[in-house]
Amino acid sequence: LQKPAEETPVGIVNLAVIKKENLMFPSWQRPHLAKKSEKIRECWNEVAGLILVGKIRRDEQYYYVVIDGQHRCYASPNDFMHCIIVDGTGDETELSRIFQTVNSLSSKLTKDDHVWVGYKTGDRDLDKMFRILRSFGLDPQRATVGNLEEV
Residue 127 has pLDDT above 80, yes or no: yes
40-46: long-range pairs with CB below 8 Å, 24+:
40/71, 40/72, 40/75, 41/75, 41/76, 41/77, 44/75, 44/76, 44/77, 46/82
Residue 98 has pLDDT above 80, yes or no: yes
Mean pLDDT of the chain: 86
Q: Which of 44, 107, 37 is nearest to 66 (CA)?
A: 37
Q: With pLDDT > 70 as the criterion, what percentage of the chain qualifies? A: 90
Residue 148 has pLDDT above 60, yes or no: no
Task: Confirm if 82 and 15 have CB atoms less than 8 A apart.
Answer: yes
pLDDT digit string, tens, across residues 79-92: 999 999 988 665 77
Residue 150 has pLDDT above 60, yes or no: no
Burial class (CB in 10 A: 0-12, 13-18, 19+), 119: middle
CA 116 to chain centre: 21
* Among 36-45, 105-114, 140-149, the least confident range: 140-149
Describe the strand order of the beta sheet including 8-10 as a list of residue ranges: 8-10, 13-19, 80-87, 51-58, 61-68, 23-24
pLDDT digit string, tens, across residues 68-81: 999 999 999 999 99
Q: With pLDDT > 90 as the criterion, what percentage of the chain qualifies? A: 43
Confidence at residue 147, expressed as pLDDT on a 0 to 100 scale: 47
Confidence at residue 136, expressed as pLDDT on a 0 to 100 scale: 94
pLDDT digit string, tens, across residues 7-46: 888 988 899 999 999 999 988 888 899 999 999 999 998 8
Question: Residue 56: which residues within 8 A CB-CB, separation 6 or more?
Answer: 62, 63, 64, 65, 88, 89, 90, 91, 92, 95
Residue 146 has pLDDT above 70, yes or no: no
